[in-house]
Amino acid sequence: MKNILSLLAVVLFTTAIIAPTGAQQPQGPGQGAAPAGAPAQPPAPPVRTISQVRGDLYKVQSGAGVAAVTVFLVTPEGIILADPLNPEFSAWLKAELATRFPGKPVRYVINSHYHWDHARGGGMFTDTARFVAHENMARNLALPIRQARPPGDTDDLDGDNRMTREEAQTGTRANFDRMNGNGDMFLTQEEMAADIRRPDITFSGERYTVTLGGKRVELVHAKNRHTNDLIDLYFPDERVLFAGDYVWINRLCCNFAFDRRPMTTWIASLKALEQIDFDIIVNSHFEAGTKADVVAYRQFFEDLMAAVSAGIREGKTVEELQKTIRLDKYRNWNGYTQTAVATPSLEQAIQSAYANLTRYSGN
């Protein structure tokens, strides 16, 4: 089982983390580096696109396929930006915004959570912006790695509060050299957080509203889905929700085995999102969708959990469940019949649900 779970971890997160900044990121050994002796290839320019979602709300995509996504809202008094993603991206975005919206500086940067693949690069906007996040974000950045793990299934296995290249997994390994500021053999929490601007404004409740130029965005705590500081951004005038990791559209999910929180926590978070009055959902990765897509995604979690729970009660092995659970309703989703980047197959989803349900209380 361990090997299959490791594979699942790689499948889930490798591309998700590498894709956002595209070929600008140096690759670690075994992570796409050219073979020794091969001629050096010039890096391809990253694919970055800005598109209107609704009204003055725009989506910015960095990278193709799985991508990393952020949003910004233009108001008469300036711009409210969500995740800055990384220094190269935010430098590019700052120039784009100056050209497209002259005289409208970024006044707020709202970090969805502490993970480096979304939170880095805020320093580009410190001259004009204030930084907002859930209070747990600042805490997480100061915690030992084991208590605030990096994205990409990476953990500090030997507990020495620093990661070797071997301990770092997937995207964190691929970006090891980039983040290893002092060039030694280890990656520390401080090094991963070096490009992350700490918030000026934090909140601790369920919601916090940022207003600017007569427009508003509501920050909604995601109730411990994925990380304990994760917030989703609700734009009530546009009826749009920007959701952090992972609310995927027509796509199997997730690595519940590594996640270390009961599947029921995810389901409760998704149900809370359904109570919000929105039409369009923009995700931190992958495609945008509608509220109906979020409902279907939550139902997938519930159907998967129910089927695997029933099998566990009957004493079946995970291998038996992988052969018998079909969940045909989701046959057209990414990952079900074909391999999709950063997406588990149905067998892998069953395996991760099995591990979660037999490991964590609260399910």
Q: Which stretch binds Zn ion (CB under 5 A): 43-51, 196-204, 240-248, 348-356?
A: 240-248
Is there binding between residue 245 and Zn ion (CB under 5 A)?
A: yes
Residues paired with residue 79 on neighbouring β-strands, in sequence order = 74, 106
Shortest Å, Cβ 116 to Zn ion = 9
Question: Of residues 151, 152, 311, 335, which one binds Zn ion by CB under 5 A?
Answer: 151
* Positions 45 through 84 that interact with Zn ion (CB under 5 A): none
Binding residues for Zn ion, total number by CB under 5 A: 3
N-term to C-term CA, the chain: 21
Q: Site map for Zn ion, 198-237, x if CB under 5 A?
A: ----------------------------------------
CB under 5 A: which stretch of 25-33, 98-106, 151-159, 174-182 binds Zn ion? 151-159
Place of tokens 């992570």: 31
Stretch that binds Zn ion, among 15-23, 41-49, 143-151, 163-171 (CB under 5 A): 143-151
∠ CA 188-149-67, nearest 5°, is: 100
260 Ramachandran zone, left/alpha/beta (phi>0; psi -120 to 50): left
Q: Is 217 helix (H, G, I), strand (E, B) or coil?
A: strand
Q: Which of 248, 250, 331, 285 is nearest to 65 (CA)?
A: 285
Nearer to Zn ion, 192 or 321 (CB): 192
Is the Cβ–Cβ distance between 217 and 210 less than 8 Å? yes
Nearer to Zn ion, 12 or 240 (CB): 12
Nearer to Zn ion, 234 or 246 (CB): 246
**Residue 193 CB-half CA count within 13 A:** 20
Query: Contact residues for Zn ion (CB under 5 A)?
Result: 115, 151, 245
